């Protein structure tokens, strides 16, 4: 199973829409997927390392990540870094530290960053990849950064059918999703 984590508190956010497209690409390669979008992430208790605050949303996220073969994480680039909503979700996974397979250990993790200007793209992508590394995940070679401001000149990131309008953007998301699925399959094959 590939678990998607990301989005914002805004329904239909760009980062959540791109995350859903990435999960759809993973499904096309035979993966089962589960999406934890902004609506669920907004209900997570604020992370406190001293207190493990349970909630139905937290318990579902933790269970899904425990069972995951790979993950895809999507964040908007807010002020040059990962959003607080996404960071809180990742911090919440600290409860996995004492598991047999702690955090993201042994799992491929693809990352998507959506920004409204290139300045935040690299910094946010780097921050998210560093977080994945700190959580013992395997960053996929392809990390995705999409600039909504640049796309406005050509009509926006999405076409009328909800797909990524730019074929290079679509290719990036497809390639990253395929890498997550392929690495997950390789890991299962070798145990």
**What are the contacts of 9-12 at 24+ separation with CB within 8 A?**
9/38, 9/39, 9/42, 9/85, 10/38, 11/38, 11/39
Q: 62-91, pLDDT tens digit by residue?
A: 999 999 999 999 999 999 999 999 999 999
Q: What is the pLDDT of residue 152?
A: 76
- Kindly give the interhelix angle for 167-190 and 14-28, rounded to the nearest 10 degrees: 50
Pick from 109, 178, 115, 110: nearest CA to 146: 115
CB atoms within 10 A of CB 96: 18
pLDDT at 2: 98
* pTM assigned to the model: 0.96
CA distance 68 to 31: 11
Identify the H or E element spanning 126. helix 118-134
pLDDT of residue 191: 66
Which residues, at least 6 apart from 56, have a Cβ–Cβ distance to it below 8 Å?
none
Number of structural domains the chain divides into? 1
Q: What is the pLDDT of residue 53?
A: 78
Both tokens of 182, joined, read 């392929």
Cα separations (Å) of 75 from 43, 60, 159, 181? Answer: 17, 20, 21, 20
Distance (Å, whole) CA 58 – CA 93 = 9
- pLDDT for the residue 75: 98
Residue 148's CATH number: 3.40.50.360
What confidence score (pLDDT) does residue 62 get? 97
State residue 158's pLDDT score.
93
- Nearest-10 Cα torsion for 81, 83, 86, 91: 70
Give the pLDDT confidence score for residue 131 in this predicted structure: 98
Residue 94 has a CB neighbour count (10 Å cut-off) of: 16
What pLDDT, on a 0 to 100 scale, did the predictor assign at position 81? 95
The residue range of the domain holding 74 is 2-190
Helix (H, G, I), strand (E, B) or coil at 169: helix
pLDDT the model gives residue 46: 93
Measuring CA to CA, which residue among 176, 168, 180 is closest to residue 142?
176
Per-residue pLDDT of the chain (191 residues; tens, 9 = 90+): 999 999 999 988 999 999 999 999 999 999 999 999 999 999 999 998 887 778 999 999 999 999 999 999 999 999 999 999 999 999 999 999 999 999 999 999 999 999 998 889 999 999 999 999 999 999 999 999 999 887 777 778 999 999 999 999 999 999 999 999 999 999 888 76
């Amino acid at each position: 199973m590939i678990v998607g984590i990301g989005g914002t508190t805004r329904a239909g956010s760009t980062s959540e829409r791109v995350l859903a497209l990435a999960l759809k690409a993973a499904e096309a390669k035979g993966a089962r997927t589960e999406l934890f979008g902004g609506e669920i992430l907004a209900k997570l208790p604020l992370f406190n390392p001293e207190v493990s605050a349970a909630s139905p949303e937290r318990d579902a996220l933790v269970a899904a990540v425990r069972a995951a073969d790979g993950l895809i994480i999507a964040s908007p680039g807010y002020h040059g870094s990962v959003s607080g909503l996404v960071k809180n979700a990742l911090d919440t996974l600290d409860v996995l530290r004492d598991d047999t397979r702690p955090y993201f250990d042994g799992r491929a993790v693809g990352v998507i960053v959506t920004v409204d200007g290139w300045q935040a793209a690299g910094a946010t992508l780097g921050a998210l990849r560093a977080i994945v590394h700190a959580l013992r995940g395997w960053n996929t070679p392809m990390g995705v950064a999409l600039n909504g401001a640049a796309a406005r000149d050509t009509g926006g990131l999405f076409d009328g059918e909800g797909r990524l309008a730019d074929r290079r953007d679509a290719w990036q998301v497809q390639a990253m999703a395929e890498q997550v699925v392929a690495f997950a399959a390789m890991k299962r094959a070798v145990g």
